[in-house]
Structure 1
Amino acid sequence: MMHKSFSTRDLPENHEFGYWRDVIANTYFNLQLSFHDDHQFEGRLDFWDLNTVQLSRLESSGLVYRRLRQHCSAQDRQVLVTVPFKTDVEFSQLGRTTRCTPGQFLLELSEEPYDFGYGQNNAMWVLKVPVSALKARIGEPSRFCARQYDSLQGVGRLFSDYLQLMTRHCEIPHDSNVRALMGTQLIDLLAISLQQHPDALQSSQSAVRDAHLARIEAHVRQHLCDPALSPEHIALACGISLRYLHQLFKDTGQSVSQWIRELRLQSAHESLSRAKAQTSVAQIAYAAGFGDHAQFTHAFRKKFGHAPSDMLRPLRGK
């Protein structure tokens, strides 16, 4: 498993500030840093690539990270999931401000400005997840940001425990498909823990509407490999009218068919990330419900910026 480690420990005096800015930008994305002590700073960051997600352990002196408007981009949308385990962190985004304590976690969106800081030495786990991976499971993740989630009970505890288990496996040289599977399972647990948080669900939709969407999603995921899956089939299977199905998706920013395609593309991407050398692109496409290989390749390249075959090439030594 790819592991990178960065530390300010042996740097010449006053070089640690610029060094840490570069480390943060290269690991996460561009941020403006304000250090609490302009004369002394210590930081260490360990980074592991799990294919689908990236995991890091960050420990540093007090500072504030600011995501400015000029840093934000609709391209390559990412979510950071921060799990502090030493002291509190303060976070503000989208007009919401929260304090996240050890025993909780929070979400930060890359495409919106935010402030994230702590006044004393702190340590935390940080998970970097593509928005597309979360969106395929819970819809638009913006409604879940700047809220604290309990990591000491329920599914939040399961998510936190699994993350801790993964950290103990970081030094084990698992192959690519095992790393991808670990990352996918972690995203699944994160999505479930977010969906079960009452405040987040009630912030933008009713419990009845959410129950319908959960049943729809379960049915679609179970039948994703069926090329004939359609809004009509979904409405019939879930016991609702076609009109109401479309109403449920009205404020999601995409149609039912577009959502199904997004799910299929994300499923194919995750399957490719953990595929074996003998796997073909056609097998992945058909398993995700695409009946046309060329159409799949075009849609995949448009969404992810590269052809599906590019993800298999390293496995074949080409």
Structure 2
Amino acid sequence: MFDMVSSRSTSGFSPKKQIQAWSDTLTDLCGHFDIDPMEASSFEGRINYATIAKLKLCQIEASQHRLAHTAAQAKPGDHPYVKILFQTYGVSHFEQSGRRIELMPGDCLAYDVSCPHTIISPTLTRHEVVIVPKDVLKERGFRLAKMAACKLSARTGAGRIAHSFVHAAFDEAAKLSPNNAIWVADSLIDLLLLPLRESDAMFDCGGPEAMYVRAQLFIRENLRDPQLSIDKISAALGCTKRYLHMLFSDRGMTVSDYIRHARLQNCRQELETQAGKSITDVAFAWGFSSSSHFSRVFREYFGIVPSSIHKS
């Protein structure tokens, strides 16, 4: 298991053991790969990594090498991840399913790790990588069967914002509480998917997963509204209340549960970071209409009273 924030490198290993050490590190992260130093006498590599909820964030630096996940290695269920890779230094050549993609600093690449592929880095390269479990993407309307490697720009627009958020999330990972880590991970995933949604039809716009994502986004945007209800949500999304109930019940919760939990998470974050606000002010700001009701559901959800956080 990886710690919240840590690092590994090939430093201190003999040239014969450097490749094995690097391979072991990659296997722990997302599966086995073949590593070839391409006739170099030694291999230098370093990975700094952080775990935020279900996401793995990595900062990788490596000397020239070839990384390969071959068809012979590919087995159902292995490497169940999508990688979103930001090239920050050097040039890399990616190949998968007959497609060849050159990566320069400022480029972003999203690809299915389970499909055979190779990445050749002829000189020193640096990447920042987010490893996302496929089940997390599926919940957000991602059509796994249509996943093809996608090259995007991280120099401007949504790609640049996503990269900046990844960098900030990595730097602050060690300071996040478990509850805040979940919300940072959710926000990070949604942000990373923005440039992908803009670039290609890899998302189901009308299926239940997409409707669930739309409902989540609408709820988050309107959490402060004390009148937020399933009637408002169904009217905004153009679906029936029964259909909304089904979407959330399939995921083990009610719409009201989701709204309440989202409000409680935001309230706790404000109580932890903004000592100047009263408990009542925070509760009312996030849609609760009764301070006593807020205190009761807060204690039921977190196991502590809000005043204990406020005092600390």
TM-score range, shorter chain: 0.5 to 0.7
User: Is the alpha carbon distance of 1:261 and 1:104 closer, same or farther for their aligned partners in structure 2, counting shifts above 3 Å?
Assistant: farther
Q: Report the AA paired with residue 35 of structure 1.
A: P
Out of 100, 118, 143, the position equivalent to 2:121 is 118
| 8 Å contact kept, 2:109–2:152 | yes
More divergent stretch after superposition (212-221 vs 185-194): 212-221
Out of 250, 262, 273, the position equivalent to 1:261 is 250
More divergent stretch after superposition (78-87 vs 3-12): 3-12
User: Is the alpha carbon distance of 1:7 and 1:149 closer, same or farther for their aligned partners in structure 2, counting shifts above 3 Å?
Assistant: same
Counterparts of residues 135-146 of structure 1 (less than 5 Å): 135-141=138-144, 143-146=146-149
Do structure 1's residue 162 and structure 2's residue 162 form an aligned pair? Answer: no
Counterparts of residues 1-318 of structure 1 (less than 5 Å): 2-69=4-71, 70-74=73-77, 77-141=80-144, 143-170=146-173, 172-197=174-199, 200-201=200-201, 210=205, 216-217=211-212, 219-221=214-216, 222=218, 238=238, 261=250
Tell me the SS of whatever aligns to 1:45.
strand
Tell me the SS of whatever aligns to 2:250.
helix
Measured after TM superposition, the shift of residue 4 of structure 1 is 2.2
Structure 2 Cα separation of the partners of residues 66 and 57 of structure 1: 19
| 8 Å contact kept, 1:151–1:157 | yes
| 8 Å contact kept, 1:137–1:191 | no
More divergent stretch after superposition (74-83 vs 45-54): 74-83
More divergent stretch after superposition (215-224 vs 35-44): 215-224
Q: How many residues are treated as equivalent by the alignment?
A: 249
User: Is the alpha carbon distance of 1:8 and 1:111 closer, same or farther for their aligned partners in structure 2, counting shifts above 3 Å?
Assistant: closer
1:47-102 deviation line (CA, Å, top 9, x unaligned): 11111201111111111211123233336721111111001222122343212221
Measured after TM superposition, the shift of residue 196 of structure 1 is 1.1
Tell me the SS of whatever aligns to 2:181.
helix
Q: Report the AA paired with residue 163 of structure 1.
A: V
User: Is the alpha carbon distance of 1:218 and 1:263 closer, same or farther for their aligned partners in structure 2, counting shifts above 3 Å?
Assistant: farther
Q: Report the AA paired with residue 93 of structure 1.
A: Q
State the percentage of identical aligned residues.
17
Structure 1 Cα separation of the partners of residues 235 and 57 of structure 2: 39
Q: Report the AA paired with residue 124 of structure 2.
A: N
Measured after TM superposition, the shift of residue 146 of structure 1 is 1.7
1:179-225 deviation line (CA, Å, top 9, x unaligned): 2222211101011221011xx23xx79xxx8489998456543479x
User: Is the alpha carbon distance of 1:193 and 1:260 closer, same or farther for their aligned partners in structure 2, counting shifts above 3 Å?
Assistant: farther
Give the aligned CA root-mean-square deviation in angstroms: 4.2
Tell me the SS of whatever aligns to 2:66.
strand
- Using structure 1 for the length normalisation, give the TM-score: 0.65
Q: Report the AA paired with residue 261 of structure 1.
A: D
Structure 2 residues not aligned, in runs of 5+: 221-229, 266-302, 304-312
- Using structure 2 for the length normalisation, give the TM-score: 0.66
Structure 1 residues not aligned, in runs of 5+: 246-256, 276-311, 313-318
Tell me the SS of whatever aligns to 2:123.
coil
User: Is the alpha carbon distance of 1:142 and 1:98 closer, same or farther for their aligned partners in structure 2, counting shifts above 3 Å?
Assistant: farther
Tell me the SS of whatever aligns to 1:44.
strand
In the other structure, the counterpart of 1:285 is none
User: Is the alpha carbon distance of 1:217 and 1:176 closer, same or farther for their aligned partners in structure 2, counting shifts above 3 Å?
Assistant: closer
More divergent stretch after superposition (100-109 vs 134-143): 134-143
Measured after TM superposition, the shift of residue 145 of structure 1 is 3.3
Q: Report the AA paired with residue 73 of structure 1.
A: P
Structure 2 Cα separation of the partners of residues 20 and 133 of structure 1: 27
1:118-166 deviation line (CA, Å, top 9, x unaligned): 1111011111111111122242145453221111111111101111212
